[in-house]
Amino acid sequence: MAQTRRQRLLAASRNSGTGSVQDGHRELPRIASPSSESTSPDGDVDQPTSPSSTVSGSASQNETYTAEISLADFKDSLKPDVCIRCLRSLFPGTGGVNLTCLKCHKYLRRPENASEKVLHDVVAKWAAFWLAWRRRHLKDKFAVNSMSASDSQGATFSFELGDLEDKDDAVQDLPGIDNIVDMVDGELETITFSEDEKTLLDMAFLTYLQCDSAQVTMYPILHKYLQHAKHIIRIEEVCFTPNHPAFTTHCIWRMTLQNRRQYAVSLTDRQLGWLPLVTPWRQYVRTRVRTLGSIKPLGAQFYVAEAADPRLNRFLYSWENNFERRRRVNRKMNWYESEGVLDEWKAWNRG
């Protein structure tokens, strides 16, 4: 069933007029203030995580889109030696992926913090599942770019959005990167990655431009979970302008616990170099948010994706460039793929 619908989507995107393709990118529609209404043709102001300065990509006649990502944009998330809750350094030799320090571990074990403990545990599980899900469905292609001494940006990667019309629908591998030449204090230096750093690098790639995908594909799980949850009483979808030089928009969840404490929860912050999965809401707003955008009920992005028109129609969406058009189609793809996510979640939990 899902396959048939998906084939129909691909046919629709192929049959629509694409015309000539323009290079470069345009500013995405401005994020709305909490009180303003939707303005875009999709009825959606919550454009997903969007690159700005880093994406200097080019669109070709066959509708592929290649972007460049700088290591500098997410380098801070490649740190296996800090606690993902408080960002303090872990004891030397005790590092790893997604670990908390002893102090945070003790804090979360106190009875009065039981709800926050449950939230951390549940979100860690969602994150592991969603990353595994991304790996299984990954169509985007990544490659390391060569560097020369004239590069002032440091190491970069090229990134091509998955081909929607690929008949084989091939799942891509992430590049296995052992070391990379990067700019450190103005000098080119070879950095050798540890196994943990390589895992964190994978996480940054898997989350790149995926905040809307996470909200759409995880919706069936979060919706189902919320019906039976003891500790989480409300989940909202929040979009904002992040405190980050390369991104104009980012979307996360705000979760309200039974004790009324609120937390920012994100499975895709690693692409911005941010390690925590769960952060007290006020702290997140203070440190990560430049301008708060919209706050909508759980499912808002899912229903936008459901309503999205998959046709690559230049006349209908004249404000879009090629990149944005592909993102719209990808959003619809996420909606189609979310059909099977509950079954995958059940199977993953059994395994």
Residues near Zn ion (CB under 5 A) are 83, 85-86, 101, 104
* Phi-psi domain of 315 (left: phi exceeds 0; alpha: psi -120 through 50; beta: other): alpha
Q: Are the beta carbons of 149 and 186 closer than 8 angstroms?
A: no
> Nearer to Zn ion by C-beta: 99 or 144?
99
The b-or-e profile of 216-232 (16+ CB within 10 A means b, else e) is bbbbbbbeeeeeebeeb
Residue number, 87 or 285, with CB nearest to Zn ion: 87
User: Residue 143 in 3-state DSSP?
Assistant: strand
C-alpha distances in Å from residue 186, one per residue of 42, 157, 189, 315, 326: 44, 19, 9, 47, 37
The residues near 250 (Cβ < 8 Å, ≥ 6 apart) are: 49, 211, 239, 240, 241, 242, 244, 268, 269, 272
CB 116 to Zn ion: min, Å: 13
Nearest residue (CB) to Zn ion, 239 versus 278 = 278
Q: 108 is written with which tokens?
A: 């979360």
Q: How far is the CB of 100 from Zn ion (least distance, A)?
A: 5
Please identify, using beta-carbon distances, which residue of 8 and 110 lies nearer to Zn ion: 110
Please report, as a single letter, which amino acid is at residue 317.
Y
How far apart are CB 195 and Zn ion at their closest, in Å?
Answer: 22
Supply the minimum distance, in Å, between the C-beta of residue 279 and Zn ion.
12
Nearer to Zn ion, 26 or 106 (CB): 106
- Residue number, 50 or 98, with CB nearest to Zn ion: 98
Instruction: Work out how close the CB of 257 gets to Zn ion at its nearest, in angstroms, rounded to a whole number.
Output: 19
Q: What is the largest CA-CA distance in the chain?
A: 62
CB of 86 to Zn ion, least distance (A): 3
